[in-house]
Amino acid sequence: MTVTNIVALQLNGEDEFLESLSLPMGFANLWTMSFWLKPTQFLPEPLSSDHRVLAHLRASTRRGEVLIWGARIEGAKYEEEIYVELGDSNGARMRIIRFNSVQKRNEWRNFSCVWDGTSLIAYDQGLLIQDMLVIQSGGNDTMDDPAGGRILRVGGLIEDTGPSLASWSGIVGHIGVWNTEIQPNEFGTLISGGFGFDLLTNSGTYTSSATLVHWWKPGDDFPNVGRDYAGDVTLTSGTNATATGINNVITDNP
């Protein structure tokens, strides 16, 4: 079956997600993660689930954990928030920061977060997010890539612990991970190119292709929905999840 012009993956907010095996991720205490997102009110939100998990990276403990979740998209006052939570090299919660006004219902936006070994910052459409709240700060300010590897789940929580969290409700586009801090001037080129921009090639103000460790293009690479174009961490339909494949692939892009 030939599928063309397929560029994004729609997740139902209930039981659809992608996940990897437990593998070394190739980044630890200095990294950038970038997501193209289009949150939707795809299905009614459970009242008990106040937040939606976009991505969760963790080992068997919280060592080197990255958890990214957003307030529910149903017209609530704070629907535009995205939270980023980090676990240090000992498995303790190191940061929880809320970034405000960064997701818009039915609108494509690029959200990127950067950990530079000391500070966690984030960008919305390439602009540094100034409206933020540090909810927790502690730990040893050091992340690691555990020897046993980490699992990455896109669109759902790996373990049902912590706050009331549910699966991502919306459309997920390209995801890039670098083992360095992307510089502010690079985002302009990256974002203006949308899905058509090749992260493996330096162009314009973008000069970080050599430090790109993962690049997933969910929906844009059917039938291999979770192919990693920059590394070897394949994402497949998650364990106990509804099969995530052709039925989720839609034509949509920034």
* CATH classification at residue 218: 2.60.120.200
Sequence-ordered list of residues with C-beta below 8 angstroms from that of 189, at least 6 positions apart, any chain: 197, 203, 204, 205, 206
pLDDT value of position 110: 95
pLDDT value of position 189: 93
Q: What whole-number distance in Å separates Cα of residue 87 and Cα of residue 64?
A: 5
Q: What whole-number distance in Å separates Cα of residue 134 and Cα of residue 89?
A: 20
Determine the length of the chain. 254
Cβ neighbour number for residue 150 with a 10 Å cutoff: 25
Q: Is there a domain that residue 33 lies in? A: yes
Closest by CA to 174, choosing from 231, 109, 104, 107, is: 109
Q: Is there a domain that residue 123 lies in? A: yes
The dihedral region occupied by 149, where left means phi > 0, alpha psi between -120 and 50, and beta the remainder, is left
pLDDT value of position 245: 63
| Model confidence band, residue 79 (pLDDT cutoffs 50, 70, 90) | low
- Enter the DSSP assignment of 185: H
Instruction: Give the residue ranges of DSSP H helices in 11-115.
Output: none
Closest by CA to 17, choosing from 156, 151, 220, 161, is: 156
The domain containing residue 85 runs over which residues? 8-250
Q: Is there a domain that residue 112 lies in? A: yes
Q: Is there a domain that residue 2 lies in? A: no
Report the predicted TM-score, pTM, of the whole model to 2 decimal places.
0.91
Number of structural domains the chain divides into? 1
Q: Is there a domain that residue 77 lies in? A: yes
pLDDT, one tens digit per residue, over 159-177 is 755 556 778 888 899 999 9
Span 209-237, mean pLDDT?
A: 87
Q: Is there a domain that residue 202 lies in? A: yes
Torsions phi, psi for 246 (to 5 deg): -60, -35
pLDDT value of position 163: 55
Token pair listed for 51: 């937040």
Token pair listed for 89: 């090299």
Q: Is there a domain that residue 98 lies in? A: yes
Q: What whole-number distance in Å separates Cα of residue 108 and Cα of residue 93?
A: 30
Q: What whole-number distance in Å separates Cα of residue 233 and Cα of residue 211?
A: 16
Q: Is there a domain that residue 136 lies in? A: yes
